[in-house]
Amino acid sequence: MKTIEFKSIGTIHSPFNDLEGMPIQPIGAKGIKGQINLKNEYKDGLKDLEGFSHIILIYHLHLSKGYKLEVKPFLDTEKRGIFATRAPKRPNPIGMSVVHLDKIEGSTIFISNVDIANGTPLLDIKPYIPHFDKEEGDEVCIGWFEDKYHEAVNKKSDNRYSDFE
Amino acid sequence: MKTIEFKSIGTIHSPFNDLEGMPIQPIGAKGIKGQINLKNEYKDGLKDLEGFSHIILIYHLHLSKGYKLEVKPFLDTEKRGIFATRAPKRPNPIGMSVVHLDKIEGSTIFISNVDIANGTPLLDIKPYIPHFDKEEGDEVCIGWFEDKYHEAVNKKSDNRYSDFE
């Protein structure tokens, strides 16, 4: 089958060299600092970005090997379909996080609320514009997360992540 | 440089065979129906997804050739850094849309609020859980979009898209 090829446009740095003990979502990573070293050739693409408080990072979950169609997420004791979770072992290991943009200096982007492993290859940056994604007042249902999501604030990854490498 | 390889996990179908006249964001695509034909081998990954009202689609902007670091977005008359826009000609042509999930039948996912070109290769589906992305009450600034975003509701793509192919 034809593959789709992308390239790393930079590297995300964070305090998380170890997959165990990582926050599992940005809301559990409040205040955690990181930085993006964008490749210099893409620097001009950062113009106007500093006006945004939050940015969407799309990245390669480079430590994830293989995938499972059903997984037991950190927040649950039952197996769920992989597409109904944010678990890393996906058919295409693509991660997405909304992080806080602190400042930009040259091709270095300083960020906080970082739930991403150190050394992660960055694929894309998009401005976070919640108004674009969903109409205000349009009701949101979040399935099996409904009575779990508040736990994401404090929950850290456990040894299920050893499965991750 | 090492490339990162992904594969299409299915195809997104929409009424938009023509790039001109497409809505430029999901909020401008209210009620527009589409469907995803997921490859049968990934069907088990859809378990539990139907409890979510909205899903995040990550896809290959397969009609986009090449990239520019500064672009004049549909909503603006000034050139902006590509990473401060959602324009398609990006260093990695990766698209992201939040769509409404209507129903799932086998490996077919029926969706609405679709702003995606017909035949687009799908890379990933993630549940839309806004509570994960940003703490409630955490203020959001949207830079140059601030006095433009309401226009996205009615604005359609114009001949700037001819540049897109």
The string of pLDDT tens digits covering residues A66-97 is 999 999 877 778 899 999 999 999 999 999 99
State the smallest CA–CA distance between residue B43 and chain A in angstroms: 8
**Is a pLDDT exceeding 50 seen at residue A138?**
yes
Alpha-carbon span A23 to A30, nearest angstrom: 9
Looking at the domain covering A10-160, what would its CATH class be? mainly beta
Which residue in A9, A44, A84 is closest to B52 by CB distance? A84
Question: Which residues from chain A sit within 8 angstroms of residue B80, using beta carbons?
Answer: 47-48
Residues A35, A110 contacting (CB under 8 angstroms): yes
| pLDDT for residue A93 | 97
**Category of A133 on φ-ψ map: left (φ > 0), alpha (ψ -120 to 50) or beta:** alpha
For residue A70, what are the β-bridge partners? A81
Q: Which residue ranges make up each domain of chain A?
A: 10-160
| pLDDT for residue A1 | 67
The amino acid at residue B164 is: F
Among all residues of chain A, which has the CA nearest to that of B6? A4
**Is a pLDDT exceeding 70 seen at residue B164?**
no
**Domain B12-131+140-152: CATH architecture, name and number where available:** Beta Barrel (2.40)
Q: Where are the alpha helices (DSSP H) in chain B?
A: 130-133
CB within 8 Å: B69 and A45: yes
Alpha-carbon span A59 to A91, nearest angstrom: 14
Which residue in A46, A69, A144 is closest to B44 by CB distance? A69
CB within 8 Å: A51 and B141: yes
Alpha-carbon span A22 to B57, nearest angstrom: 25
- Beta-strand ranges (E) seen in chain A are 3-7, 10-13, 33-38, 54-60, 70-71, 80-81, 94-105, 108-112, 120-127
